[in-house]
Amino acid sequence: MTKEFFKVTDLGDALELRFGFKRLAQEEIPIYESTGRILAEDIESDVDLPDFSRAIMDGFAVRAASTFGASDGNPAYLNVPRAIAMGEIPSFSIGPGEAARISTGGMLPEGADSVVMIEHTDAIDETTIEVYKSVAPGQHMVAIGEDIEKDRTILFRGQQLRPQETGLLAAFGRSSVRVFRKPVIGIISTGDEIVPVHESPAVGKIRDINAYTLAGQIIQAGGIPRQFGIVKDDYDALLALCTHGLEQSDMLLVSGGSSVGMRDYTVEVLSAIPDADLLLHGISISPGKPTILAKIADKAFWGLPGHVVSAMVVFHAVVLPFIDHVGGLEPAYHRRPACMATLNRSVASSQGRVDYIRVKLIEENDNFTAEPVLGKSGLINTMLRADGLVKIDKHTEGLDENTQVKVLLFT
């Protein structure tokens, strides 16, 4: 027996490996379903938005100069010969001392450069109003191209679409859009002691938890989980199920195998699969050191630790960036929610590896406090109590109480 079982890879080096994997294929989808998806094309503005001057208040289209100096005590009197209906193209123009009734969304006539809010006016007679407040040019209206100018790249390949980006696609008449396909991610659980959720485990056995935590994480990552079931510590069965799982998915997560025997099986299976390239065998993170990554037919094959916390942390810290990469997300557009918080007790950490600690967030006095959740990485209750993870850099020996830390939030 030796004291070190495998040579670990630095976390940063492990993450670089993702760029060796190809992006997934693209597909055209209705924009209705596009929120959360990753754009596979640049989007150009082919018109100005708006392409006409629009009122954004109910009131009167005017020349701002006609209202200069107007106040409660000294109103401006304007002549209002006409009104503009919604969707109408006004055929007249507004001169000095003139106004036209306009509703929000209406098109400003030529000559008008602003809108007086109806609240700041009073009707004197059928065709005359008093204005109590001056407006500046451009006020209460949107000029041509003021929102988005024509012939610009407005959305970029690799960007994740939020509701507002989906709305922008609608504004430019894109009823469908090209996005990257959602990655299908297979899940296999291994271990003689693991039984399916619907079975009552005999003494010494436990139900399969990882298949469900990982499925949830895959859904949150924008992927499609596919469970392939449980395989015992059996080389032939593991090889058969891994081969099947790889055929059916874009990436495969084999969890369990945290025992040395199981890890050996996993590595043996990898060596039996043609073209399998073992990229790493151990990562310098805690929890999650006994992680395996191989590349098989341009698909990532992961051997994840069996402990539920370790598997979840490795997913957050390592697997997720790979999913993002193959799913087309550009690092500049990552929007994983995070917050800053004050650590409320010191935590120890080992130099030379990256530590992820679970923390609970407490909000008080316009500040977040991060309280470390202590507990073994086999205990799911620590994840139930935690709101997120704090990463402790490999060059750091630990964090002192009151350090400001960045918390990667669980959602």
Nearer to a copy of itself, 169 or 296 (CB): 169
Q: Residues with Cβ < 8 Å from 164, sequence gap 6 or more?
A: none
Tokens 């990229």 correspond to: 279
Within positions 77 to 96, which residues make up the interface with a copy of itself, using CB under 8 A?
85-89
Nearer to a copy of itself, 115 or 252 (CB): 115
Q: Is 209 in the site for a copy of itself (CB under 8 A)?
A: yes
Closest to 298 measured CA to CA, from 318, 326, 334: 326
Q: For residue 264, what is the DSSP state?
A: H
Shortest Cβ 325–a copy of itself spacing (Å): 20
**400 three-state secondary structure:** coil
Nearer to a copy of itself, 154 or 293 (CB): 154
Q: Is 20 in the site for a copy of itself (CB under 8 A)?
A: no
Are the C-beta atoms of 99 and 116 separated by less than 8 Å?
A: yes
Total of chain residues touching a copy of itself, rule CB under 8 A: 113
Distance (Å, whole) CA 137 – CA 108:
13
106: region left, alpha or beta (phi > 0 left; psi from -120 to 50 alpha)? beta
Distance (Å, whole) CA 212 – CA 198:
13
Of 26, 128, 227, 350, the one binding a copy of itself (CB under 8 A) is 227
Within positions 250 to 279, which residues make up the interface with a copy of itself, using CB under 8 A?
258-261
Shortest Cβ 405–a copy of itself spacing (Å): 8
Q: Is 104 in the site for a copy of itself (CB under 8 A)?
A: yes
Nearer to a copy of itself, 219 or 297 (CB): 219
Of 18, 63, 157, 174, the one binding a copy of itself (CB under 8 A) is 174
Q: Residues with Cβ < 8 Å from 11, sequence gap 6 or more?
A: 283, 284, 285, 317, 318, 353, 354, 394
Tokens 């094959």 correspond to: 301
Distance (Å, whole) CA 38 – CA 27:
11
Q: Is 125 in the site for a copy of itself (CB under 8 A)?
A: no
Q: Is 211 in the site for a copy of itself (CB under 8 A)?
A: yes
**22 three-state secondary structure:** coil
Q: Is 10 in the site for a copy of itself (CB under 8 A)?
A: no
Instruction: Pick the stretch among 16-24, 159-167, 240-248, 346-354 that binds a copy of itself (CB under 8 A).
Output: 159-167
Q: Is 387 in the site for a copy of itself (CB under 8 A)?
A: yes
Shortest Cβ 295–a copy of itself spacing (Å): 26
For the chain, how long is the longest CA-to-CA vector?
100
CB neighbour class for 38 (10 Å; exposed up to 12, middle 13-18, buried from 19): buried
What is the per-residue binding string for a copy of itself in 179-208, x denoting contact by CB under 8 A?
A: ------------xxx---xxxxxxxxxxxx
Instruction: Pick the stretch among 18-26, 235-243, 325-333, 373-381 that binds a copy of itself (CB under 8 A).
Output: 373-381
Of 8, 62, 99, 168, the one binding a copy of itself (CB under 8 A) is 168
Nearer to a copy of itself, 9 or 121 (CB): 121
> Identity (one letter) of the amino acid at 217?
Q
Q: Is 163 in the site for a copy of itself (CB under 8 A)?
A: yes
Closest to 408 measured CA to CA, from 347, 372, 356, 333: 356
Of 339, 344, 394, 396, the one binding a copy of itself (CB under 8 A) is 339
Phi, psi values for residue 215, rounded to 5°: -60, -45
Of 58, 237, 289, 396, the one binding a copy of itself (CB under 8 A) is 58
Distance (Å, whole) CA 148 – CA 44:
10
Closest to 83 measured CA to CA, from 126, 30, 22: 126
Distance (Å, whole) CA 158 – CA 40:
6
Q: Is 222 in the site for a copy of itself (CB under 8 A)?
A: no
Shortest Cβ 296–a copy of itself spacing (Å): 25
Q: Is 75 in the site for a copy of itself (CB under 8 A)?
A: no
Q: Is 21 in the site for a copy of itself (CB under 8 A)?
A: no
Q: For residue 237, what is the DSSP state?
A: H
Q: Is 103 in the site for a copy of itself (CB under 8 A)?
A: yes
Instruction: Pick the stretch among 18-26, 116-124, 241-249, 270-278 that binds a copy of itself (CB under 8 A).
Output: 116-124
Beta strand 404-409 with 338-343: parallel, antiparallel or unpaired? antiparallel
